[in-house]
Structure 1
Amino acid sequence: MGRRKSLREVVGLIKDKASQSKALFSNPTTLPLHLAVLRATAHSPHAPPQEQHILDLLLLGDSSRATASALIKSLMNRLHHTSNAAVALKCLIIIHHIIKRGPFILQDQLSIFPATGGRNYLNLSAFHDGSTPSAWIFSNWVRYYARYLETLLSTSRNLGFFLGSYSSTVEKDRQEERLSSFVNRDLIREIDSLVGLMEDICKIPDNLHVKGVELLLGITGFIGGDYLSVVKETVLRVIEFKERVGSMSFGQSVELTCALKRLEDCRERMEKVIMIPVRKLSMETLWVLTEELKEIMVGFDGGGGGGKEGRKIDREKMMRTESARLENRFLDRDNAVKFNSTRFGDSVKVSSNGFNFLL
């Protein structure tokens, strides 16, 4: 078995050399891009792409729109033409790096690939590498990770920025005003999309006892960071709905209730997902605020009656809420958005660096 694995690694090195030689006969303009992609997604060893190779790719993709487009195309060609699960995972990891920390021009080209459709379906649901038992397990991760990234990209489109990316930090200081300008329908669509991403996180595979575990740990670390971003963005929208419950129509209340029910289901599943290192307090904040929103919705619904009187808006309460919101917008928040939860008071806030809990 040891000789077989060594032979497999040698074959991988030969394939890498052959691919690099083939790239030499390509367009001289795109040659550096092809070589950079090949170096970052080498067959061996079973470890995440080297940091320097990733930085080289991100730097190359920041030069022009044409170069960024060619780099994304080269990366996607590498992904869709390999039958090696480790190489496919490395390609997907680089895509995740582009989402998280890539320059805007490179993120933009990723978001509109392929140019003919703009839906960015990675289309790896049938991927299979049965060369070794480890490759079999890696194949399962390839299928899951590709589907997850598709959902992440779709959610990012709905939000208007790449979720969990460096660029999204620019939005944080404006989130409260941005969300308050949305109509209920758009807010419900965003919550529904965020819950869908959380549902995909709950489905992460749990088999890490294979050669190349470093590769998988890098993936789980990335997804764990995304989970915290999902929690943060969901909390902001739950708080916004707490302040506008009385303005929702009956149909919108039903849609929001369904989304909250799916969120509760995620709570039970996330408790069993030991792969994702999360901050327990941030999770509990989301669940507490969600429960508060449900209680308020029941109150406005008259105990579930759904009649005209049951859905009547408490005008005085809504005016006090709106007045408080306007007052808070003009207060010096020290670059933070306060959570005006009746249960937490001023003890919870979101800073530009993430969740700060002052309990």
Structure 2
Amino acid sequence: MGRVTVLRDLIGIIKDKASQGKAALVSIPKTLSLHLALLRATTHDPFTPPDPKHLAALLSFGFSSRATASTAIEALMDRLQTTRDASVSIKCLITVHHIIKRGSFILQDQLSVYPSAGGRNYLKLSNFRDNTTPLTWELSSWVRWYALYLENLLSTSRVLGYFLCSTASGVDKDKEKKVTSLINSELLKEINSLVNLLEQISKRPDSSHANGNILVDEVLGLVGEDYLSSINEVSIRVKEFRERLSCLSFVDSFELVCALKRLEDCKERLLSLSQRKKVLIEAIWVLISEIKDQVGNGKVYREEGRLLTMGSRKMVSESARFGERALNHSHDSVKFSSGRFLSYESVLESCA
């Protein structure tokens, strides 16, 4: 097995050199540096993450023209789709992740075209397999999971209207101001999208051969940062719903409780991902649990001695149905940006 690994590594080095030589021969001078930077950032070495210097060189093409940025994304996606090497695939995905987190606007914009514009989904790698060695076999499961995670990250970013986890996504105060202007259905859509992303994080692979692998550690480090950002985004929206509790409809309350319950179900797996900001994160989880219980308890009714819960549509009391109808017909109650801006009389009118 040791000889096979050494031979494979040697072949990988030869392939890297050959690819760089081919790029030097066939590339036009304008794109030569782009292709060389990409090849150097995504080598076949399974024990070396992308060199920050080569990543920076690749990201620098986002500060040029839109055409150049488009060429850079196209070259990256083509390499991701044509390789059958697990190490190269993970490094391509790490590069995509760096573009989302700290790439220029023009580079992020070109990346967001895939697949939202109806074109090919370059992150669809559900059939990826590299069975060369036990390590590459297990790295393949990380490739499949990581590609799906990044697809979810891009999808959630589209729902939020900005690149989640990006260094240019704005400060919390700006996000809080935006959140207060959303109607309940939009706010629920954002929370559900964030929960989907966090659920995907919790589904990361468990593998023995890949444990301690530097590529896997690099991926976990990037995803761990995303987890902290995502759970903070959830807390901003949960706090906003806390201001609207008195005016939530039956349906909105039910959907909110379901989303928060799904989030709590993957809490342990998420907590094991990162120990950073431990006190702050624990406080956010306490908040999520409290709001879930408050909303759930607030929508439980008693009628003729029977306990009626949100899970039984037939057993909902007339008072609950009346409240839901009133909220559905009260356009003002839906359009209010936040309960904190309503007068006492307005709240009574919208909930009557």
Fold match (TM-score > 0.5): yes
Q: Distance in 2 between matches of 1:90 and 1:161?
A: 24
Q: Distance in 2 between matches of 1:214 and 1:58?
A: 22
The aligned counterpart of 2:105 is 104
> Quick one: percent identity of the two aligned structures?
50
Task: Give the TM-score taking structure 1 as reference length.
Answer: 0.81
Partner AA of 1:238 in structure 2: V
The aligned counterpart of 2:235 is 235
What is the CA distance between 1:8 and its match in structure 2? 1.3
SS in 2 for 1:112: helix
* Alignment check: 8 A CA contact 1:184 1:252 kept: yes
What is the CA distance between 1:209 and its match in structure 2? 4.2
Q: Deviations over 1:276-331 (max 9, x none)?
A: 44443233222221232234324542545644545759xxxx9x962599xxxxxx
Judge which range, 4-13 or 150-159, deviates more.
4-13
Q: Distance in 2 between matches of 1:155 and 1:114?
A: 13
Q: What is the number of residues matched between the two proteins?
A: 317
The aligned counterpart of 1:184 is 184
Partner AA of 1:61 in structure 2: G
SS in 1 for 2:132: coil
1:165-204 pair list within 5 angstroms: 165-168=166-169, 170-204=170-204
Q: Distance in 2 between matches of 1:7 and 1:153?
A: 38
The aligned counterpart of 1:331 is none
Q: Distance in 2 between matches of 1:30 and 1:60?
A: 10
The aligned counterpart of 1:77 is 78
Q: Distance in 2 between matches of 1:4 and 1:300?
A: 63
* Alignment check: 8 A CA contact 1:260 1:290 kept: yes
Q: Deviations over 1:97-153 (max 9, x none)?
A: 111111111111101125852574511100000011111111111111111111111
What is the CA distance between 1:45 and its match in structure 2? 5.3
Q: 1:47 to 1:212 in 2, by over 3 A?
A: farther
Judge which range, 279-288 or 183-192, deviates more.
279-288
Partner AA of 1:217 in structure 2: D
1:112-261 pair list within 5 angstroms: 112-114=113-115, 117=118, 120-168=121-169, 170-207=170-207, 209-210=209-210, 213-261=213-261
Q: Distance in 2 between matches of 1:296 and 1:188?
A: 17
Task: Give the TM-score taking structure 2 as reference length.
Answer: 0.82
Partner AA of 1:80 in structure 2: Q
What is the CA distance between 1:194 and its match in structure 2? 0.5
* Alignment check: 8 A CA contact 2:165 2:229 kept: yes
Q: 1:302 to 1:204 in 2, by over 3 A?
A: closer
Matched, 1:281 2:279: yes
Please, which runs of 5 or more residues in structure 2 have no aligned partner? Answer: 302-307, 310-315, 327-335, 344-352
SS in 2 for 1:113: helix
The aligned counterpart of 1:292 is 290
Q: Distance in 1 between matches of 2:260 and 2:238?
A: 9
Among 293, 304, 322, which residue is 2:340 paired with?
A: 322
Q: Deviations over 1:172-216 (max 9, x none)?
A: 221222111000000000000010011011111232644871111
Partner AA of 1:141 in structure 2: W
Q: Distance in 2 between matches of 1:131 and 1:235?
A: 44
Q: Distance in 1 between matches of 2:226 and 2:341?
A: 34
Could you say what the CA RMSD is over the residues aligned between the two structures, in angstroms?
2.6
What is the CA distance between 1:261 and its match in structure 2? 1.5
SS in 2 for 1:205: coil
Partner AA of 2:16 in structure 1: D
